Chains A and B, each alone.
Chain A
């Protein structure tokens, strides 16, 4: 079956622009996670949804970062007024529920110039 998909795969933004990154989880997966992976580092947790409820956003680095999952399926991570330090790969993962295996998408590589 289809895995987790993310779009776009690559995004170049000028500093100060807003961007929106999309995640399509595996069908039926109630849990959805966003991670940020800087170059040469491991992924770091950003936020977590269970269905449409955002239960943890403790990893979002600033109020410029916003995530939503309005219908409990597709999720969008939005970054406003992008800065160079936002350049990273943004990973989405989904799972059937708490404590189950997380399946990762291919990531969106964001470059802010």
Chain B
């Protein structure tokens, strides 16, 4: 079955540091890939997505590129801010009648001033 693997956390960075959060997946076919974020005290919200190979999703300075050859969708940001402190989840979804999401375990990011 489908699965998503995220790097182990938590991650602690200083403000303005470069961020990479690794995500790899196992799935048949060509799923869409997502990053969701959960800020403290808030619900899950979509951060960015990519629907086909070599697509790059971007939002709020975050980027991730759909790499089919390495089955990866790593999240990057050039300069993190304290306000980026949150839990980040990588997920995949197949198109079709039941578009359920399959999530990774999530990783907690803390950014120090």
- Chain A residues with a Cβ under 8 A of chain B: 3-4, 31, 33, 35, 40-45, 48, 55-56, 59, 91, 93, 95, 98-102, 104-107
Assembled-state Cα–Cα distance A31/B99 (Å): 9
Complex contact A48–B98 (CB within 8 A): yes
Q: Is the CB of B44 within 8 A of A45?
A: no
B91 in contact (CB, < 8 A): yes
Contacts of B103 in A (CB 8 A): 42-44
Q: How many residues of B contact A (CB 8 A)?
A: 21
B contact face: mostly helix, strand, loop, or mixed: loop
Tell yes or no: B95 within 8 A of A by CB: yes
Identify the B interface with A (CB < 8 A). 4, 42-46, 89, 91, 93, 95-106
Is B43 in contact with A98, judged by CB distance below 8 angstroms? no
Is A106 within 8 A of B42, CB to CB?
yes
A42 and B100: CB pair below 8 A?
A: no
The answer on a CB contact under 8 Å between B98 and A102 is no
Residues on B with C-beta less than 8 A from A105 are 43
CB distance from A97 to the nearest CB of B (A): 9
A-B contact pairs, 6 of them (CB 8 A): A42-B105, A43-B103, A56-B100, A59-B100, A95-B99, A98-B99
Determine if B97 and A104 form an interchain contact, defined as CB atoms under 8 angstroms apart: no
In chain A, what residue has the closest Cβ to B89?
A: A42
Given contact pairs A43-B44, A91-B44, A107-B43, A102 touches B101 in the complex (Cβ within 8 A): yes
The residue in chain A whose Cβ has the minimal distance to the Cβ of B32 is: A99
Query: What's the minimum C-beta distance from A61 to chain B, rounded to whole angstroms?
Result: 15
How many angstroms between the C-alpha atoms of A67 and B102 in the bound complex?
20
- The smallest beta-carbon distance between B6 and chain A, in angstroms, is 8
